[in-house]
Amino acid sequence: MPRRGRGADGRAWRDRGPRSVTYVEVDGVVPDADTLARLLHRGYGHVTALQVRGGATRGLDLHVDRLERQHHTVFGELLDGERVLRMAGHAVRDHPDASVRVVVTEGPTVTVVVDDPAQPPTTPQRLLTVGAERQVPEVKHLGTFMQGYQGRRAAAAGYDDALFVGRGGRVLETTIWNVGFVEDGTVVFPEGALLPGITMLLLLRHAPAAGVPVTSRPVRVQELVDLDAAFLCNSWGVVPVAEVDDVAWPAAHPVVDRLVATYRDVPQDPLS
């Protein structure tokens, strides 16, 4: 059972320090300045993001499905998701350990941005609830102002990130993470207007075989005090949550520890 939490401690939202883009390819080639300038004006498109280690990533089939499904939603056209990810594989041939962002805009034009590999936070996270819902939540799209704005507001209040609470008090997600909870030994993912992240889908797929029951249902903010633990998940990994507003949980929980191990052990698929 959680305890009531303490006040904010001033940790900054996603304080990862300065980051520099390592490498960019557009449609499989290094772009010239004119091409990059044109792409800077394209604010309509969709994205998938991967952590690549040794030229491989987890959940390759889920990324293919996401790209194809999103493209049909955004542009009303078919897309060969496997071809798009082969472009990503081409871009990381000299950067086998990397953070990779695949952006698809009209054409389709495929931009692959290769950056330094990311690691999850090393401390349990503290979240501030905000009334917000992602627009077109089923699509990981280029419209991220709301996430950045709410995340920075949470940082200014001393929290690590903002937790979106939608209509009817339904807990949804944070600015860059899916959130999950533990209730009587079962992992509970919220249902509602949220982006189904690849890591969340992998945990739904693999956790039962690791002896962790998983379910999805509406979770309302008033329930949090009755839940046993909370965690965040994205391509960086699985991270425990210490507090949501004034509700707090222990820094470690055996079910969350098993989820960390489950994600770590998910097989990785080569990009090329």
pLDDT of residue 8 exceeding 70 = no
State pLDDT tens for residues 143-191: 999 999 999 999 999 999 999 999 999 999 999 999 999 999 999 999 9
State pLDDT tens for residues 205-222: 999 999 999 999 999 999
CA dist 104 and 69 (Å) reads 12
To the question of domain 3-14+120-267 being in CATH 3.20.10.10, the answer is yes
**Dihedral (Cα; 30, 34, 38, 39), 10-degree rounding:** 20
Q: Higher confidence at residue 272 or residue 59?
A: 59
pLDDT, position 16? 46
The full set of domain ranges for the chain reads: 3-14+120-267, 23-115
Looking at 3.55.50.30, 3.30.499.10, 1.10.10.350, 3.30.470.10, the CATH number of the domain 23-115 comes to 3.30.470.10
pLDDT, position 41? 87
Average pLDDT over residues 124-144: 96
CA dist 139 and 69 (Å) reads 9
Record the pTM: 0.92
CA dist 237 and 177 (Å) reads 10
